[in-house]
């Protein structure tokens, strides 16, 4: 739409230049006529000149008529061009406004969609962070309980280890005491057995002697009383 408008403006400028040229030429011819009439020139020359002037006037009249028609046509074309230009500009403005409105709507829709996605992700992130914090607190509580339980188990184990050590020490002491007591008992038993053996040996020897004496008496008795 810009190039045809520029061409029409160029035509209008060229026609306006032609019109100004015609007006200047008519003004020059009129001034020449006045100068010749003032100088007192020859009547024949004046008649010829008047004839030329009449022809020039007719030509000027024709040119003025042509110029008037051209001006009318140019004015009509200008008004039509202005109307078309205004209509075209209105259509262009309407299209541009529609395009800009659609683009604005698309940008706003995109912005809303993007903000919705960001909001959803931020909400999910906050929920995850809250859940992670809650789990961390639960884990800390569980760790505290576990530490207390480990401390209690360690204390119990240390007590049991101490008890086992005391039992072991008592056992070895008891073993030593028992061994010493058994040694004493063995010595006493050995001494008792030795005494009993001595006593039994003496008794046996006495019994044997008594039996021998009885046998000898019986033998002597039988020998005597035969």
| pLDDT per position as a tens digit, 147-197 | 999 999 999 999 999 999 999 999 999 999 999 998 888 888 888 888 888
Confidence (pLDDT) at 44: 47
Q: What is the pLDDT of the chain when averaged over all its residues?
A: 77
Q: Is residue 186 part of a domain?
A: no
Provide the pLDDT for residue 204: 83
Q: At what angle do helices 43-224 and 2-39 cross, to 10 degrees?
A: 160
- Does 196 fall in a domain? no
Q: Contact, 55 vs 103, CB < 8 A?
A: no
Q: Which two tokens stand for residue 194?
A: 């030795």
Is 93 a domain residue? Answer: yes
C-alpha distances in Å from residue 52, one per residue of 34, 44, 60 = 14, 12, 12
56-97 pLDDT, tens per residue? 677 777 777 777 777 788 888 888 888 888 888 788 888 888
**Could you give the percent of the chain with pLDDT greater than 70?**
72
Q: Is residue 177 part of a domain?
A: no
pLDDT at 104 > cutoff 60: yes
According to the model, what pLDDT value does residue 8 have? 47
For 12, the domain range is 2-103
Q: Is residue 65 one of the residues assigned to a domain?
A: yes
Q: Calculate the CA 187 to chain-centre distance.
A: 93
Integer Cα distance of 224 and 215 in angstroms = 14
pLDDT bin (cut points 50, 70, 90) of residue 214 is confident
Residue 95 placed within a domain: yes
| Residue 50 lies inside a defined structural domain of this protein | yes
When divided into structural domains, the chain yields a total of 1
Q: Which two tokens stand for residue 10?
A: 């160029």
Higher per-residue confidence, 111 vs 213: 111
Question: From CA 33, how far away is CA 5, in angstroms rounded?
Answer: 43
Residue 7 has pLDDT above 70, yes or no: no
CA atoms of 81 and 74, how far apart (whole Å): 10
What are the pLDDT digits (tens) for 129-144? Answer: 999 999 999 999 999 9
Q: What is the DSSP string of 120-167?
A: HHHHHHHHHHHHHHHHHHHHHHHHHHHHHHHHHHHHHHHHHHHHHHHH
Residue 52: predicted pLDDT:
58
Q: 13 lies in a domain?
A: yes
The answer to whether 49 and 33 have CB atoms below 8 angstroms apart is yes
């Amino acid at each position: 739409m810009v190039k045809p408008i520029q061409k029409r403006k160029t035509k209008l400028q060229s026609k306006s230049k032609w019109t100004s040229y015609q007006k200047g030429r008519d003004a020059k011819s009129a001034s020449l006529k006045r100068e010749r009439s003032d100088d007192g020139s020859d009547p024949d020359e004046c008649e010829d000149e008047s004839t030329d002037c009449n022809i020039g006037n007719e030509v000027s009249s024709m040119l003025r008529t042509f110029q008037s028609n051209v001006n009318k046509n140019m004015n009509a074309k200008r008004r039509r061009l202005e109307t078309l230009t205004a209509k075209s500009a209105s259509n262009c403005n309407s299209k541009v406004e529609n395009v800009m409105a659609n683009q604005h709507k698309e940008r706003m829709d995109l912005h809303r969609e993007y903000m919705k996605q960001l909001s959803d992700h931020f909400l999910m992130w906050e929920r995850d962070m809250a859940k992670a914090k809650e789990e961390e607190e639960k884990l800390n509580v569980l760790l505290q309980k576990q530490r207390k339980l480990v401390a209690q188990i360690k204390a119990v184990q240390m007590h049991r280890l101490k008890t086992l050590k005391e039992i072991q020490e008592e056992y070895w002491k008891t073993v030593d005491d028992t061994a010493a007591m058994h040694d004493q008992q063995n010595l006493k038993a050995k001494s008792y057995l030795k005494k009993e053996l001595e006593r039994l040996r003496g008794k046996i020897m006495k019994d044997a002697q008594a039996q021998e004496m009885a046998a000898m008496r019986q033998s002597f008795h039988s020998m005597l009383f035969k």
